[in-house]
A and B are shown apart, each in its own frame.
Chain A
Amino acid sequence: MVYRIYVEKQKGLDNEARGIKNEIVELLGIKNLKSVRLINRYDAENITEELFETAVNTVFSEPQTDITYKEIDTKGYNVFAVEFLPGQFDQRADSAAQCISLISQGDRPTVKSAKVYMLEGELTEAEVEAIKKYVVNPVEARIATLDKYDTLETKYAYPEDVKTLDGFCEMDEKALGEFLDKLGLAMDIDDLKFCQQYFISEKRDPTFTEIKMIDTYWSDHCRHTTFLTNIDNVTFEDKLLEDAYNEYIATRKALGRTKPVCLMDIATIAVRHLKKAGKLPKLDESEEINACTVKIQVETDGKLEDWLLLFKNETHNHPTEIEPFGGAATCIGGAIRDPLSGRSYVYAAMRVTGAADPTKPLSETLEGKLPQRKIVTTAASGYSSYGNQIGLATGLVDEIYHDGYVAKRMEIGAVIAAAPAENVRRERPEPGDIVILLGGRTGRDGCGGATGSSKSHSLSSLESCGAEVQKGNAPEERKLQRLFRNPEASKLIKRCNDFGAGGVSVAIGELADGLLVELDKVPKKYEGLDGTELAISESQERMAVVVAAEDAEKFCALADSENLESTVVATVTEEPRLVLKHRGKAIVNISREFLNSNGAEKHIDITLS
């Protein structure tokens, strides 16, 4: 049985409804709109009627500020309802379900939320459509039915086994080209040929998962392919730049560097030089790459102690441009996870963003783009919502305005963190060590974030859970912050990686050279995920840690005391191969050397003007 309740703020307290009405009138210019009523609709299943009734006044509403209805009278209004796309994290419904289980001390009911818009005024059909378009961002939400549900259960088809790409090794260049297009891969034809060579040497065809995974590994997002492109020739039109370039070349020579010239080398050469000259004595270096790390001394109660200071900057430009709230929230969430994976406590953030003029009228918005005003305000709301919830001081917030940012917004999060040096242990994982997954579960919303939502046929056929952008869940990440701040737990961690890009295959895959991952053990948000999705779907608020086998139980108990889910999913192996098992079969089995090659070499000639 599905129970439904409608909750509306009392007159005078309906800030959100009035805000939306003003936006529609002023920004969309729909002057006939008299008023907007905004009603939260909740549906709950797997709950007794009595418990539902209790929840109406204690969870879904608050008698001091809200009015509740079993039915709504829609006469005289244009009415529509909006819900999140299936698979998108809905904090409202999730919290409601958690609250109800706290009251009942029973299992969590299934809760679904939607927002009902009731528009008053003589509106044309086109105007109602314009309003819908304004409030529904199709990458995260959709129009919901106004009817009652018979059930909230989603039926999931049993996912098929991962397919081997028969005949891949025999494909000619034309066939490979077609294959590339068909799968919408981010890699280029040279990379694919390079893959083919590898699988020929392995004497087998790859699986679908392997190709998707390699594509993620070698994407610009994970591997800086642009910055690592070999610069073959440079033409100068400016003396100043030529001098600087020559100085760079001389510095390289003095350091004895023979690796090809590339943007990454120019970006890092000064530090190599300064290090050699002994000018960066406080720099902390390790095999683990989490964030910038510096050794500092910290004074507590008049005593000096050795600490590590970590900082990191990160952009989330593309996601914020298309879904500003979730994009900006996961920008700061992701920035936090880098130093956090270095076992430090992130305590402050700075936000620097770039936008075009947000005061320009909506009518000047480019086709296919959200208005700047909407982007700047919604992104601010998303970033602050995450930062405020996780609890780090955002002490400096600035926005830079330049017309060029209409091409794509700039959303930077920079964070700063620290930990007593003794709390951070860094060791190379050894065969027999255990990999534990912590925090958020895998869903389909994280598929292909790293390679730029490259949808393949097999993925798009699964329509039931198709959200393309991820939502942040700050309370979950805060639990990780608490766990890693506890020296008892942090001192058990040999190495750690976050799930910034590329899901299980990359986050776990980067932890050690040889790994055996059991995908069937990876906790899922819902059923119906196939092996490829389990391997490549990113997820926010999740970490993978390596601990010694004998420490695994203790570590999981500490995670439980922080209200965090933990699961052993992989072991470190002797042979330097990344193996992912699903339903008893190895669906990925690739040598470390090949993965680390970053694909075929790229080349460019540059003109400096």
Chain B
Amino acid sequence: MQALASDLNVCSKRGLSERFDSTIGRGTVLMPFGGKKQLTPIQAMVNKVSGEKRDTSTVSVMAYGYNPYITEKSPYHGSYLAVVESVCKLICTGASFEDTYLTFQEYFEKPKKCGKRWGKPMAALLGAFKAQMELGIGSIGGKDSMSGSFENIDVPPTLVSFAVTTDHIDSIISNEFKEADNEVVILKPEYDENGLPKAESLIDLFAKVNALIKSGDVVAAYTPTYGGVAEAVMKMCFGNGFGFEYDEKVTNEEIFGYSYGAFVLELSGKCDKAVGTRLGKVTKSCAIKRGEEKICSYNLLETYENKLESVFSCNIETSKEEIPAFEFKASKYASPAVKTAQPQFLIPVFPGTNCEYDSAKAVEYAGAKANIFVINNLTKDGIARSVESFAKLLSESQAVFVPGGFSGGDEPDGSGKFITAFMRNAAIKEGIESLLGARDGLMCGICNGFQALIKLGLVPFGKIIDADDTCPTLTFNTIARHQSRLVRTRIASNMSPWLRNTEVGEIYTVPISHGEGKFLASDALIKELAKNGQIATQYVDMDGKPTYDIHFNPNGSTLAIEGITSPDGRVIGKMGHSERVGAGLYKNVPGEYDIKMFKSAVEYFTK
């Protein structure tokens, strides 16, 4: 088991994966890593089909299949199984087999003029041809690259199959074990004399698994791939920190051998059907065992995560220092002098802004009107026009929402400079002062927006100032790369109108995705902010305690501070993407997601 956990093709790729933004678009149904510990890697990518103004409840599901060690032995078998693997991954995520489409990526050595070398792509294509004919699904696109040679070294024959389908969001399930004592079974197709699954039996199996998922009898499903059943069970355990007890009848060959086309299913406690062959049961204890043989799953996890830590780090050492949990319960809330039936939120778009669609949706779903405004800087005339139009829109708006993204690509070497350069323009600056001062308006900045607000001084000072070296800021994450995952944030103060539907001490799970989210401020300033209730939220661990632990505090923020506000709370800046929250998202990570920020902001103007 230890050897398997540290196999390069099994071990954790979390340090690699978490530098990719996985939640933008407010459509991510399954996080790349599931379970409350976010450790079980998903087998298929599931996203809501992206609508411009409204969320949809139709999802696209995509998965790949390929094993170079089988394909180098026999390109025919490898390619056949690549198709099978890619489709099985869709099925175990809850999609039905109907309307599945494929696209292939071929990558081979330079064939030169050698008939044998040409034979490899040909055999691979014949294997894929057979799989398509027998399963009745087609590869409707694809791309080939035939130059994988360097001197006398060749890439392994490569045919990666991508399978794609769509389904309803309610059909989707995730693959981490859900509950201790649940029974786990394996379902296998019949195999032919060449060791390939028989297509007919496989198609029957797809229907059977799909029905079991639909009926709620199956609560987690995984199709064994490179590392067989052993890998499947191990990874299913990690997400929620469970152990596993194999049935004593299960052999080593069954655990460690290939089982392409098979499904490992965790049955609901309520399932009373006889399904498949018993594999074992989920256990509360952190051990994977069979009879007397036993291995601690924590040790296994360490091996699994350490293998690539030196290349793609994700578990860096952080300070163990205790952090106080700030508490500031508001007794009264700011209120505008004049109420507005439908407030207007102005959302500026700079080159590199990328959260404006999500932000506008969040605002409109909360009942406000969102105005997206694209700044034009193609020419100096374009800039002048933009400044003028923006200032006018500003005077007609009740709130400004500076969305996330990478304005100017976070260059030159630091985030938000593009936005601050624009906002420091005299006409805009005046407009913002009037919005906040004379008209009791609101402002929020999330992620890149927060970076801009803090660098302008709008948080925590409530006004645009010239920054000096005593000002707080947001800078590069301690881990020195982009981080994308879900984090838990605790409400430290509900003084802001943006947070008035929350209680101090409540914990909200929220997606983060940033490279520069480390909050820096002097002790004296933090004391002052805490006293005024300007520290809105803190990153906390599973016990609700603020922490520097990299698994919970993704950037190393001082005192785990995630969001702060202006003195009167009307301007808020936070790193967590509260706008990326919607129905049915993040199914594989339990938590309370809705911080009701936008609802609160709308109510500030309407109620």
Contacts and interface: CB of A to CB of B under 8 A. Distances in A.
A and B assemble together: yes
Interface of A: 7, 13, 15-16, 19, 40, 42, 57-66, 91-96, 98-103, 105-107, 113, 220, 224, 226-227, 231, 234-235, 240-241, 244-245, 247-248, 251, 263, 266-271, 273-275, 279-280, 282-283, 291-294, 296-301, 307, 309, 311-315, 317-318, 345, 347-348, 350-352, 354, 357-359, 366, 369, 373, 376-377, 380-381, 383-385, 387-402, 404-408, 410, 412, 414, 416, 418, 474-476, 478-479, 482, 485, 560-565, 604-609
A244 B129 contact: yes
A414 B162 contact: yes
B130 A247 contact: yes
Nearest to A7: B413
Nearest to A13: B475
B351 A475 contact: yes
A358 B311 contact: yes
Contacts of B116: 607, 609
B527 interface: no
In the A-B complex, the 4 residue pairs with the closest CB atoms = A391-B354, A270-B132, A292-B141, A95-B408
A273 B130 CA distance: 12
Contact of B424 (A58, A248, A418, A561): A58
A311 B164 contact: yes
Contact of B45 (A279, A348, A390): A348
B162 A311 contact: yes
B105 interface: yes
A395 B122 contact: no
A609 B383 CA distance: 65
B137 to A, nearest CB: 7
Interface string B119-159: 10111011111101100111111111111111001111010
A345 B25 CA distance: 11
A106 B414 contact: no
B269 interface: no
A95 B143 contact: no
Interface stretch (B274-282, B373-381, B529-537): B373-381
9 contacts: A57-B466, A99-B418, A293-B140, A298-B56, A307-B49, A347-B25, A400-B66, A407-B153, A561-B374
Interface residues of B, number: 142
Interface stretch (B27-35, B242-250, B293-301): B27-35
Given A94-B411, A95-B412, 4 more contacts: A244-B130, A311-B101, A359-B310, A563-B377
Contact of B133 (A224, A234, A273): A273
Contact of A271 (B121, B126, B132, B312): B132
A458 B457 CA distance: 55
Contacts of B418: 95, 98-99, 102
B455 A62 contact: yes
Contact of A63 (B125, B133, B411, B469): B469
Contact of B164 (A102, A247, A307, A416): A416
Interface string B174-214: 00000000000000000000100000000000000000000
Given A292-B103, A405-B156, A395 B412 contact: no
A397 B154 contact: no
A456 B47 CA distance: 47
Nearest to A239: B194
Interface in B77-118: 99, 101, 103-107, 109, 111, 113, 115-116, 118
Contacts of B44: 396
A271 B140 contact: yes
A352 B160 contact: yes
A240 B49 CA distance: 41
A406 B150 contact: yes
B138 A58 contact: no
A383 B17 CA distance: 11
B354 A478 contact: yes
A425 to B, nearest CB: 17
Contacts of B9: 400-401
Contacts of A410: 107, 148, 155, 158
A267 B104 contact: yes
Interface in B1-48: 8-9, 13, 16-17, 19-25, 27-28, 30, 32, 42, 44-47
Contact of A101 (B21, B68, B377): B377
Contacts, number: 444
Given A384-B20, A404-B72, A607 B115 contact: yes
A315 B107 contact: yes
B54 interface: yes
A66 B412 CA distance: 12
A147 B126 CA distance: 62
A377 B312 CA distance: 7
A59 B412 contact: yes
B22 to A, nearest CB: 5
B412 A93 contact: yes
B56 A274 contact: no
A433 B136 CA distance: 41
Contact of A560 (B17, B118, B130, B378): B378
A314 B378 contact: no
Interface in B460-518: 466-469, 471-473, 475-476, 478, 480-482, 484, 513
A408 B421 contact: no
B420 interface: yes
Given A99-B417, A351-B20, A392 B133 contact: no
B467 A107 contact: no
B414 A65 contact: yes
A381 B312 CA distance: 11
B13 A398 contact: yes
B42 to A, nearest CB: 6
A474 B520 CA distance: 29
B406 A388 contact: yes
Given A299-B58, A405-B155, A414-B162, A317 B147 contact: yes
Nearest to B145: A315
B382 interface: yes
Nearest to B53: A300
A384 to B, nearest CB: 5
B2 to A, nearest CB: 16
Interface string B566-582: 00000000000000000
A563 to B, nearest CB: 5
Contact of B408 (A299, A348, A380, A475): A475
Given A280-B140, A350-B62, A64 B469 contact: yes
Given A98-B377, A315-B105, A395 B32 contact: yes
A604 B307 CA distance: 45
Contacts of B144: 224, 226-227, 263, 267
Most chain A Cβ neighbours within 10 Å, of B154, B156, B352: B352
Contacts of B63: 396
B139 A105 contact: no
Contact of A62 (B23, B72, B467): B467
Nearest to A376: B311
Q: Which of A13, A267, A384, A393 has most chain B Cβ within 10 Å?
A: A393
Nearest to B381: A105
A102 B425 contact: yes
Given A102-B383, A397-B13, A402-B156, A62 B414 contact: yes
B472 A64 contact: yes
A385 B148 CA distance: 26
A358 B466 CA distance: 46
Given A58-B417, A416-B164, A562 B374 contact: yes
B162 A380 contact: no
A42 B24 contact: no
B194 A416 contact: no
A258 B164 CA distance: 31
A308 to B, nearest CB: 10
Contacts of B308: 358-359
A342 to B, nearest CB: 11
A395 B30 contact: yes
Given A105-B383, A608-B123, A393 B129 contact: no
Nearest to B467: A63
Kindly name the residue among B27, B56, B122 whose own CB sees the greatest number of chain A CB atoms within 10 A.
B122
